[in-house]
Amino acid sequence: MTKKLKILVVAGDGIGPEVTGEAVRVLQSVAELGGYDFQFREELIGGVAIKAKGSPLPEDTLKAALESDAVLLGAVGSNEFNALPPSERPEAGLLKIRSELGGFANLRPSFAWPGLSQNSPLRPEIVEGADILFVRELLGGLYFGAPREWDKRVNAAWNTMRYTRDEVVRVSKVAFELAAKRRKKVTSVDKANVLEVSQLWRATVTEVAKDYPDVALEHQYVDAMAMHLMNQPRNYDVVLTENLFGDILSDEAGVITGSLGMLPSATIGGKVNLYEPVHGSAPDIAGKGIANPLGAILTAAMLLRYSAGLEDEAAAIEAAVKQVVADGVRTADLARADKSVEVSSTTEVGSKVREVLVGARASAAAR
């Protein structure tokens, strides 16, 4: 068990600092309760880094990330930079840190939290019990493929969706390994009726599946999958897909949970794992103290699970989140549908999670 952990915090833009602040305080509570030595260091990324240092991923940030045991990221993106080309925007810093750290498997769980089904626009009997783990390939496809260009002379622009067999093999293995420990089903999502890259994807996933005879494999086209996810989310266990399809479907999965603000993620398989909530920088609510910190707090739980082997502590955070939600301590995004719930602030929700964690530890000690 890891006793010492060096965590680089890159809070980024918008609501990033508010939500990661709560996640860090939760990690500090875990360290105090368990006698662990978690060391936090902060660096800049995204729009704040462009402003302070002229680059969305400054050298110092990348160096600190490579020296850490885990990187906890808030969010990047700011409307100020909307006119810039993709390569100069805050988002470029995120894509660069992803590729430099090398993690290719982005795990995005989407879970129907008890007591939150009212908050979903879907009927409770559809969402209740849903428990999906998206495995999104994070370093290939349209995000990184070349050539890419907007050629103003010919008034045309293009990007390239490219995958090598090896890239598909390695992310598929992660999906099958995880499915083997869950409900033993992988749904691979592609567009193999139109795209050659998807045909390679499908053939490769099918080949990898042969090494996992206990895990069932099904293929879905991405358009159909977008619909099935809303009609029958309980049908899915592990959903494996390429970068852009995974980006889109994981936001859609926020509907199952009731709020995008509840979704965490972990990126594994590289030099240093990267942890970031699925939501963006939400500039419209930044600085107001109303953002939901639970996505970031659940991301911290994934950090303990995948970078420190602290499974019990990760599960304790998840149980605390469950309790806080059930007790009706919720930010505005989660209180919307339930008028009996009083709206809490970002810090109130974070404090409540810590209180429940400390209380659970005390009652365990008393037993």
| Ranges within 299-338 binding ligand IPM (CB under 6 A) | none
Site size toward ligand IPM (CB under 6 A) is 7
Does position 13 interact with ligand IPM (CB under 6 A)? The reply is no
Nearer to ligand IPM, 217 or 296 (CB): 296
Q: State the angle between helix axes of 346-366 and 294-307 in degrees (0 to 180), rounded to the nearest 10.
A: 50
Q: Which x/- pattern, by CB under 6 A, does the window 212-251 give for ligand IPM?
A: -----------------------------------x----
Nearer to ligand IPM, 94 or 133 (CB): 94
Provide the minimum distance between the beta carbon of 16 and Mn ion in the complex, in angstroms, as a whole number.
14
Q: Choose which of 14, 47, 56, 77 interacts with ligand IPM (CB under 6 A).
A: 77
User: Is the CB of residue 30 less than 8 Å from the CB of residue 357?
Assistant: yes
| Ranges within 217-256 binding Mn ion (CB under 5 A) | 247
Residue 342 carries which DSSP code?
A: P
CB proximity list for 73: less than 8 A, separation 6 or greater: 10, 11, 12, 16, 20, 45, 94, 97, 274, 275, 276
Q: Which residue has the tokens 């906890």?
A: 72
Provide the minimum distance between the beta carbon of 264 and ligand IPM in the complex, in angstroms, as a whole number.
11
Does position 94 interact with ligand IPM (CB under 6 A)? The reply is yes
Nearer to Mn ion, 265 or 351 (CB): 265
Q: Choose which of 91, 167, 237, 313 interacts with ligand IPM (CB under 6 A).
A: 91
Residue 91's binding partner among Mn ion, ligand IPM, none (Cβ under 5 to 8 angstroms by kind) is: ligand IPM
Provide the minimum distance between the beta carbon of 280 and Mn ion in the complex, in angstroms, as a whole number.
7
Nearer to Mn ion, 143 or 176 (CB): 143
Nearer to ligand IPM, 237 or 247 (CB): 247
Nearer to ligand IPM, 24 or 274 (CB): 274
Letter string b/e over residues 281-298, b meaning 16 or more CB atoms within 10 A of that residue's CB: bbbebbeeebbbbbbbbb
Whole-angstrom distance, CA of residue 320 vs CA of residue 324? 6
Question: Which strands make up the sheet holding 4-12, listed edge to edge?
Answer: 37-42, 4-12, 70-75, 273-275, 266-268, 105-111, 131-137, 238-241, 185-190, 216-221
Tell me whether strands 266-268 and 105-111 are parallel, antiparallel or unpaired: antiparallel
Instruction: Please give the structure tokens belonging to residue 270.
Output: 């590289």
Provide the minimum distance between the beta carbon of 218 and Mn ion in the complex, in angstroms, as a whole number.
24
Provide the minimum distance between the beta carbon of 207 and Mn ion in the complex, in angstroms, as a whole number.
29
Provide the minimum distance between the beta carbon of 280 and ligand IPM in the complex, in angstroms, as a whole number.
6
Whole-angstrom distance, CA of residue 334 vs CA of residue 285? 15
The one-letter amino acid at 355: E
Whole-angstrom distance, CA of residue 131 vs CA of residue 245? 19
Does position 46 interact with ligand IPM (CB under 6 A)? The reply is no
CB proximity list for 226: less than 8 A, separation 6 or greater: 248, 249, 252
Residues recognised as catalytic: 143, 191, 223, 247, 251
Residue 357's binding partner among ligand IPM, Mn ion, none (Cβ under 5 to 8 angstroms by kind) is: none
DSSP labels, 126-186 = HHTT-EEEEEEE-SSGGGT-S--EEETTTTEEE------HHHHHHHHHHHHHHHHTTTSEE
Nearer to Mn ion, 167 or 247 (CB): 247
Q: Which x/- pattern, by CB under 6 A, does the window 276-305 give for ligand IPM?
A: --x-x-------------------------
**In what helix (H) or strand (E) does residue 44 lie, and over which residues does it extend?**
none
Q: Which residues bind ligand IPM (CB under 6 A)?
A: 76-77, 91, 94, 247, 278, 280
Q: Which residues bind Mn ion (CB under 5 A)?
A: 247
